């Protein structure tokens, strides 16, 4: 049902998302990179790192969550008017397969934009060479802050 051709309210949306991402220090700490910014659609990539794992050497669910939370937040942020910021109120995430892959791609996209509340969905894809599998799926609620 989503309309993937959202109109940005701020033509500077791409620079604004890159700038904010660069100030999320945790992204540098874990080695995540912003790889796509479209209106209402953002991708963040994270190469696997063994110092971010849980007890079975999978990427910890919290780190999977970290990248897709930011991807959803920035998808919402990309549609905000100038001067508005976003705040994640809450999200739910389902873990669909073990987080074991060479690289993880978090894809966030706006399901429904709103003046006060924007709902986003996100997926985390695990890639091993050419093979892809879905690792997690998120549904998030984001509030506009003026």
The footprint of a copy of itself (CB under 8 A) covers: 1, 20-21, 23-26, 28-29, 50-55, 60-63, 65-67, 69-70, 87-97, 111-112, 116-117, 119, 121, 123, 125, 134, 137, 139, 141, 143
How many C-beta neighbours within 10 Å does residue 121 have? 19
**Closest distance to a copy of itself from the beta carbon of 126 (Å):** 11
H or E stretch at 133? strand 131-145
CB 37 to a copy of itself: min, Å: 15
Q: How far is the CB of 123 from a copy of itself (least distance, A)?
A: 5
Residue number with CB closer to a copy of itself (29 or 129): 29
Beta strands, E only, 1-130: 33-38, 41-47, 85-95, 103-112, 117-128
Question: Which three-class secondary structure state does DSSP give residue 9?
Answer: coil
Tokens 């109120």 -> residue: 89
Nearer to a copy of itself, 15 or 117 (CB): 117
């Amino acid at each position: 049902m989503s309309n993937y051709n959202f109109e940005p309210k701020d033509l500077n949306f791409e620079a604004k998302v890159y700038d904010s991402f660069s100030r999320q220090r945790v992204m540098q700490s874990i080695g995540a990179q912003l790889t796509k910014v479209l209106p209402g659609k953002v991708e963040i990539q994270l190469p696997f790192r063994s110092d971010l794992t849980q007890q079975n050497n999978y990427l910890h669910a919290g780190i999977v969550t970290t990248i897709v939370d930011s991807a959803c937040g920035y998808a919402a942020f990309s549609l905000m008017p100038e001067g508005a910021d976003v705040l994640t109120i809450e999200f739910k995430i389902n873990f669909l397969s073990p987080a074991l892959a060479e690289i993880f791609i978090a894809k966030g996209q706006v399901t429904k934009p709103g003046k006060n509340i924007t709902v986003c969905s996100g997926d985390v894809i695990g890639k091993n060479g050419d093979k892809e599998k879905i690792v997690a799926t998120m549904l998030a609620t984001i509030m506009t802050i003026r």
